[in-house]
Amino acid sequence: MTGAPYAGQFLTPGRFAGKVAVVTGSAQGIGQKVAERIGAEGGAVVLVDRSELVHDVARDITRAAEAAGGSAAAVTADLETWAGAEQAVEAALTAHGRVDVLVNNVGGTIWARPYEEYDEEKIEQEIRRSLFPTLWSCRAALPAMLKQGAGTIVNVSSVATRGMHRVPYAAAKGGVNALTRSLAMEVAGRGIRVVATAPGGTEAPPRRVARGPEAESAVEKAWYQVIVDQTVESSFAKRYGTLDEQAAPIVFLASDEASYVTGSVLPVAGGDLG
């Protein structure tokens, strides 16, 4: 055993056999990795993203998933809207008749700057991006799960609820944490678990779909560097995590192995608790 980061070498064959999982924000990054993992463990995965790239990702996952007894399909939808969330869940129900797992992965910092440098429009956009997709998607999936008497929701939050230069994003992810705990309490007696992970900084390939404009001025680049430096310094491991290190706990929490875990927000940030 080395100290090297987890590289996705462990799978649990059949862990999601017979399960239908909706994974949002799955055209790239953590969401894509989670969808790949559930498909490789036998699940029927419905990938949701507003980017058309999600269809290419689903085709790639299908080839590996079918060998494990799983499948993959894609839906394009804008999850910042109720209509988009409803559309995504309806697509899964039409195709499979049920939703066993919902992984809410949409979100992410759009701008990096001191709070006094955010204007009204930017604040509202940050909240819409990182809170409303989870609120809407939970609400859209809940009736089907209640009818089934079973289901698991895994929300992807962030340890940046305590962080520099992204106060609106921190507020949105604080809302995700509150949603997780409150909804878990409300539906635990009806067979539904609601949990979350709180990722720290994560190394990933260059984004194929940008969350927002690139930092252009020297000041903007310096504001973003503050986030990077604080993220590394706050981690006991003094590094960013990998996509596999983020996907593994999400997939565990989504599985029946975590049947006694609900209402919890698990920090996955090398020791940074947020």
Q: How confident is the model at residue 51 (pLDDT cuts 50, 70, 90)?
A: very high
Rounded CA separation 248/219 (Å): 36
Q: Is 260 a residue of the active site?
A: no
Q: How confident is the model at residue 82 (pLDDT cuts 50, 70, 90)?
A: very high
Q: Which residue has the higher pLDDT, 206 or 58?
A: 58
* pTM, two decimal places: 0.95
Residue 187 has pLDDT above 60, yes or no: yes
Rounded CA separation 50/105 (Å): 13
CATH class for the region spanning 20-268: alpha beta
Residue 52 has pLDDT above 70, yes or no: yes
What is the pLDDT, as a whole number, of residue 3? 59
CB 36 within 8 A of CB 246: no
DSSP 71-130: EEEEEE--TTSHHHHHHHHHHHHHHHS---EEEE----------GGG--HHHHHHHHHHH
- Mean model confidence pLDDT for the chain: 95
Q: Which residue has the higher pLDDT, 123 or 210?
A: 123
What is the pLDDT, as a whole number, of residue 207? 75
Residue 266 has pLDDT above 50, yes or no: yes
- Region 1-15: mean pLDDT is 80
- Region 20-32: mean pLDDT is 98
Looking at the chain, the whole-number percentage of residues with pLDDT higher than 70 is: 99
Residue 2 has pLDDT above 60, yes or no: no
Q: Please pick, among 118, 169, 224, 240, the residue that the annotation labels catalytic.
A: 169
* pLDDT tens track for 160-172: 999 999 999 999 9
What is the pLDDT, as a whole number, of residue 1? 36
Q: Point out which residues pair with 265 in neighbouring strands.
A: 196
Residue 213 has pLDDT above 80, yes or no: no
| Residue where the block lists tokens 């055209």 | 27
- Region 133-156: mean pLDDT is 98
